[in-house]
Structure 1
């Protein structure tokens, strides 16, 4: 804004808000402005669309198991035997600090105490400590 506009706004008998309203009026939507927020048909259409796609994609993943990995994702190993797998971090756009933060929230103090860390399809990170004897079935030894 220029100094002249600011001076006019200060000297104007009405407040600055009213002055801006005159300079830049609100857009008009038309005769349907009142009925825009109260449309039952629009709401039902939106709910129906979401429900349709949720059921369609769920049914598609049930019928075609190979499609499940593309739509829902698969678990990915991000820490193996206490070492972070950088390639998987880059693929999932995670940082080392995010892994360490989640690890602390899980009650694990050091990265060396982690046997496996797995990024689940829902976005949660599961940690298996070295104290535990469990090894994930879906994790093969050749994953890098």
Structure 2
């Protein structure tokens, strides 16, 4: 019994240490994933490694550790859902790093990022100068959300008084030479219609098609396999 208590204690202590280290390193260290996903990957990878390479670690030890870890993550998720006050501590919060075109150095320092990193994150949003940005928000996942200055913003249809048009999602009908029958039924066509569409493009066999997609009021878009030159 003492072994299991030791495993659970070490797991809880390791969780706390990893969480503190991630908070100290800053948001950009785990961009695109949450701190808990990052910690989970480390912990579960270590558990699996121990199970494979350490003969003294038994199946029951691993089971106890994984169950404890799962319960811990579940409790953390429940806390952030039930109590809003815990979200800032456990999940982090967005920070405004550019306000009305001016860089907020205190916010940069708090987020553990420098000017070069800020420029890189802004370029990833399609803006190559800080002067183009009116507001910049450092999100809890390490990314920057940008609201550009009006003169650098892309005009929208509403700005140009362009009449609105319905937006449609392209539907994949053939993928890697095979018909996606569920999608074909969803758009209201049958296999005969599909064969007729392919015949109009001199294609007689599905196997000749790498990819085919359908959009309303447009001909079937077909990409065939490249023919090997002899």
TM-score bracket, normalised by the shorter chain, equals 0.5 to 0.7
Q: Distance in 1 between matches of 2:72 and 2:54?
A: 30
Give the number of equivalent residue pairs: 100
Match runs of 1:93-132 below 5 Å: 93-130=112-149, 131=153
| 1:78 aligned counterpart, secondary structure | strand
Partner secondary structure for residue 98 of structure 2: strand
How far the C-alpha of 1:40 sits from its partner, in A, is 1.7
2:56 is aligned with 1:36:
yes
1:100: Cα distance to partner? 0.3
1:67 equivalenced with 2:119 (yes/no): no
Runs of 4+ in 1 over 3 A off after TM superposition: none
RMSD: 2.1
Provide closer, same or farther for how the CA distance between residues 73 and 34 of structure 1 changes in structure 2, counting only shifts above 3 A. closer
User: What displacement does 1:124 show?
Assistant: 1.6
Larger RCO, structures 1/2 (Cα 8 Å, 6+ apart): 1
SS at structure 1 position matched to 2:134? strand
Query: Quick one: distance in 2 between partners of 1:69 and 1:75?
Result: 9
- Structure 1: gaps (5+ residues): 1-32, 134-144
For residues 63 and 34 of structure 1, what CA distance do their matches in structure 2 show?
39
Per-residue CA deviations over 1:106-137 (Å, capped at 9, x if unaligned) read: 2111111111111111222211212269xxxx
- TM-score between both structures, scaled by the size of structure 2: 0.40
Judged with a 3 Å threshold, the aligned counterparts in structure 2 of structure 1 residues 132 and 49 are, in CA distance, closer, same or farther, namely: farther
Cα deviation, residue 44, structure 1? 1.6
* 2:70 partner SS: helix
**What stretches of structure 2 of length at least 5 have no aligned partner?**
1-52, 156-230
SS at match of 1:69: helix
| Compared CA separation, residues 45 and 81, structure 1 to 2 (3 A) | same
